[in-house]
């Protein structure tokens, strides 16, 4: 709930204006030492602007540092790379770079460098809920700062470790540390640090339900940050005020604060803060009974979580979706009951007319019967469409759930295993090179397992389909197929604009099923796929040079795979044709009209 980010991030924000000059030095300065310093400053300035650019810059700087044998700069750049992975939510990669930097720092004469790395490792373990290990890292860092009489570092560690005690439920110890940090910041006349200490105190008072003290400290922090015109920390203050008001059940005030926080976070592309704000706004909307709005906020939360932290909570979305759909169905039932009552009234009126006007009444009644039958047929057809859509939707939701469970459950455990192995590597002494190589192979095996889990989860619910559309998703899918098994050619045309999400999902699953059938059953060496959108609709063909099959054999069409293809395309009001014969390959041709269903 409360956001704890390294204090140098605030300083890095002030460097944005120097990015152009730093890039100029990196490109054109002939002095390698000046260029290396520019790499260090530029990577830090980019840490909150563009993670990928930050990593590329830090990597280039690290290469130069190794060439110049500058271990201090190398450690600094490896730490920056780890930080960029941390903010992207890839904690196992962050740990690898942190520990590489820590190993180098052991041989440096500057103990403050090691203390800074230990602080970041403490935050990493705190994030992954390994609280005892986090405290171990913080305590080591604090002792270094204390021995160097570095009050700035001591104040930072007191705040960071105070959060661990919050997580442990030891609020008194957390308050003690926050107040100690505040005393140091006030002695230094450090307004930035004072603002953070007030903010931490407001957070822990909120947890204690001491709302008066919480509001007082949070507003003090906000006032200081407004004086400093620090948008980054102002956004954090609004978010923490929102949480406090939510905890007091002052929901309108909470919504106001979260929206103020989001207005800054969205502009800064501050994903971590947007995640928290959308999650809390969703919870408030659900509490107010506004399930549609709750679902909207939860979807925004999940979209950001997937793209940044690889962390999507589909169960929560489904929970809200069920409530939302239930509410809609109740409204529909009320409307249907009203319509049925009206129809019954009309029917009795018709019967009365039949009695009064025998011939005319009978004729009119028959016409109404015919019309009712037609209406019933339309209702049945509509219900069939809804049932098909429900099956497809349930299937996609299950794929998303399984993908999320793989990614967030098994994937996170494997990542944690890798991280702990990396930590363990630095704590043991190998008797010989064979032991070290065996240990490195073990880490590589865990790393490969992590990648395999991510690959499977992304194949079940590819990010490219959510972000870029059908053509990109199909290309990403076939790119992952070993061309030594089968050579695949893809041609797309007219798919510059996004299609309806149901259409994209269904066509992607159909092509995926066709490709899997070719690989499993056809023995083909080449496969040609085309996707063309024109004025008539969308045409897709999948053609292979495999062994083919007899299309007159109905048993071939009783399998789940071909039935799924046919039922999905029928739902889109499209057609699918299978052209094949033994020894002559297979062609699957799909056409889907563009008319709305």
What is the CATH code for 190-269?
1.25.40.10
Of the listed ranges 194-203, 276-285, 494-503, the least confidently predicted one is 494-503
**pLDDT of 275 over the 50 cut:** yes
Over range 574-591, report the average pLDDT.
90
**Coil, strand or helix at 24:** helix
Between 458 and 167, where is the model more confident? 167
Of the listed ranges 105-114, 474-483, 556-565, the least confidently predicted one is 556-565
128, 169, 488, 521, 533 from 525: Cα distances, Å: 46, 62, 9, 12, 27
Q: Are 108 and 71 in contact, with CB atoms under 8 Å apart? A: yes
Over range 392-419, report the average pLDDT.
62
* pLDDT for position 313: 36
Of the listed ranges 178-192, 200-214, 316-330, 411-425, the least confidently predicted one is 316-330
| Angle 92-277-454 from CA coordinates, rounded to 5° | 30
Q: Are 351 and 369 in contact, with CB atoms under 8 Å apart? A: no
Of 128, 76, 121, 77, the C-alpha closest to 99 is 121
Name the CATH topology of 1-109.
1.25.40
Of 459, 81, 7, 329, the C-alpha closest to 73 is 81
SS (H, E, C) 261-285: HHHHHHHHCCHHHHHHHHHHHHHHH
How is 150-177 classified by DSSP, letter by letter?
-HHHHHHHHHHHHHHHHHHT-HHHHHHH
* pLDDT for position 141: 93
Q: Are 161 and 177 in contact, with CB atoms under 8 Å apart? A: yes
Distance CA 271, CA 50 (A): 12
Token digits of residue 197: 């200490």
Confidence of residue 459 (pLDDT cuts 50, 70, 90): low
Of 81, 77, 79, 80, the C-alpha closest to 66 is 77
Q: Are 155 and 184 in contact, with CB atoms under 8 Å apart? A: yes
Collect contacts of 281-289 with beta carbons under 8 A, ≥24 apart: 281/255, 282/316, 282/320, 283/246, 284/246, 284/251, 284/254, 284/255, 284/258, 286/320, 286/323, 287/251, 288/251
* pLDDT for position 122: 92
Of the listed ranges 79-88, 100-109, 172-181, 317-326, the least confidently predicted one is 317-326
CB crowding 483-521: b at 16 or more within 10 Å, else e: eeebebebebeebeeebeebbbbbbbbbbbbbbebbbee
* pLDDT for position 590: 93
Q: 505: Cβ–Cβ under 8 A, 6 or more apart, which residues?
A: 392, 396, 465
Distance CA 502, CA 508 (A): 10
Q: 340: Cβ–Cβ under 8 A, 6 or more apart, which residues?
A: none
- The conformation of residue 538, written as its DSSP 8-state character, comes to E
- pLDDT tens by residue, 428-449: 777 888 877 777 777 777 776 7
Q: Are 182 and 208 in contact, with CB atoms under 8 Å apart? A: no
Distance CA 205, CA 225 (A): 20
Distance CA 386, CA 22 (A): 59
- pLDDT tens by residue, 7-40: 344 344 444 447 888 888 888 888 889 899 998 8
**Coil, strand or helix at 543:** strand
Q: Are 171 and 207 in contact, with CB atoms under 8 Å apart? A: yes
- pLDDT tens by residue, 35-84: 999 988 888 888 767 878 888 999 999 999 999 999 999 999 999 999 98
* CA 153 from centroid of its chain's CA atoms: 33
**pLDDT of 559 over the 80 cut:** no
* pLDDT for position 228: 87
Q: Please state the pTM of the whole predicted model.
A: 0.47
**Coil, strand or helix at 575:** strand
CATH number of 463-593: 3.40.1170.10, 3.40.50.720, 3.30.565.10, 1.10.357.10?
A: 3.30.565.10
- Looking at every residue in the chain, the average pLDDT score rounds to 80
- pLDDT tens by residue, 364-392: 878 877 887 777 777 766 665 665 666 66
CATH number of 111-181: 2.30.40.10, 1.10.287.180, 1.25.40.10, 3.40.710.10?
A: 1.25.40.10
Specify which of 7-21, 156-170, 314-328 reaches the highest per-range mean pLDDT.
156-170
Distance CA 291, CA 287 (A): 9
| Angle, in degrees to the nearest 10, between helices 433-460 and 411-425 | 160
Distance CA 376, CA 400 (A): 35
């Amino acid at each position: 709930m409360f956001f704890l980010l390294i204090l140098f991030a605030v300083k890095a924000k002030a460097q944005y204006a120097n990015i152009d000059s730093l890039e100029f030095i990196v490109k054109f300065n002939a002095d390698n030492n000046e260029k290396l310093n520019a790499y260090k400053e530029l990577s830090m300035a980019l840490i909150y602007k563009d993670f990928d650019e930050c990593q590329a810059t830090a990597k280039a700087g690290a290469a130069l540092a190794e060439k110049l044998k500058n271990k201090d700069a190398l450690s600094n750049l490896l730490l920056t790379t780890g930080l960029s992975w941390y903010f992207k939510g890839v904690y196992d990669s962050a740990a690898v770079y942190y520990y590489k930097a820590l190993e180098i720092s052991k041989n440096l004469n500057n103990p403050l460098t090691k203390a800074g790395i230990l602080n970041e490792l403490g935050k990493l373990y705190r994030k992954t809920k390994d609280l005892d290990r986090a405290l171990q890292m913080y305590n080591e860092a604090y002792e270094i700062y204390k021995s160097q009489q570095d009050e700035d570092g001591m104040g930072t560690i007191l705040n960071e470790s105070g959060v661990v005690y919050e997580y442990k439920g030891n609020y008194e110890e957390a308050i003690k540390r926050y107040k100690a940090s505040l005393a140091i910041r006030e002695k230094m006349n450090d307004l930035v640090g004072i603002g953070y200490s007030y903010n931490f105190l407001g957070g822990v008072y909120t947890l204690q339900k001491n709302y008066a003290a919480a509001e007082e400290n949070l507003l003090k922090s906000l006032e200081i940050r407004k004086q400093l015109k620090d948008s980054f920390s102002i956004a954090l203050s609004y978010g923490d005020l929102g949480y406090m008001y939510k905890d007091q059940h002052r929901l309108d005030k909470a919504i106001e604060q979260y929206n103020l926080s989001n207005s800054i976070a969205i502009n800064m592309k501050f994903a971590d803060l947007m995640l928290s704000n959308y999650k809390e706004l969703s919870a408030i909307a659900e509490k107010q009974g506004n399930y549609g709005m709750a679902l909207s906020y939860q979807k925004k939360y999940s979209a950001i979580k997937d793209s940044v932290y690889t962390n999507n909570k589909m169960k929560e979305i489904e929970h809200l979706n069920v409530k939302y759909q239930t509410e809609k169905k109740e409204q529909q039932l009320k409307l249907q009951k009203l319509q049925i009552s009206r129809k019954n009234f009309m029917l009795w009126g018709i019967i009365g007319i039949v009695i009064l006007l025998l011939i005319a009444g009978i004729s009119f009644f028959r016409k109404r019967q015919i019309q009712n039958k037609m209406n019933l047929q339309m209702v049945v057809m509509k219900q069939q469409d809804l049932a098909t859509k429900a099956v497809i939707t349930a299937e996609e939701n299950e794929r998303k759930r399984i993908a999320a469970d793989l990614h967030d459950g098994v994937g996170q455990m494997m990542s944690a295993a890798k991280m702990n192995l990396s930590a363990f590597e630095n704590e043991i002494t190998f008797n010989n090179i064979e032991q070290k190589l065996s240990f490195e192979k073990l880490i590589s095996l865990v790393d490969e397992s992590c990648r395999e889990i991510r690959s499977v989860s992304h194949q079940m619910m590819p990010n490219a389909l959510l972000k870029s559309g059908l053509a990109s998703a199909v290309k990403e899918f076939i790119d992952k197929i070993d061309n030594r098994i089968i050579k695949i050619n893809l041609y797309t045309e007219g798919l510059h604009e996004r299609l309806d999400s149901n259409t994209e999902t269904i066509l992607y699953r159909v092509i995926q099923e066709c490709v899997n059938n070719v690989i499993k059953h056809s023995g083909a060496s080449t496969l040609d796929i085309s996707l063309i959108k024109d004025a008539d609709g969308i045409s897709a063909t999948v053609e292979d040079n495999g062994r083919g099959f007899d299309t007159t054999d109905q048993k071939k069409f009783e399998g789940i795979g071909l039935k799924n293809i046919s039922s999905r395309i029928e739902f889109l009001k499209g057609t699918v044709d299978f052209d094949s014969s033994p020894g002559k390959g297979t062609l699957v041709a799909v056409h889907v009209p563009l008319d709305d269903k």
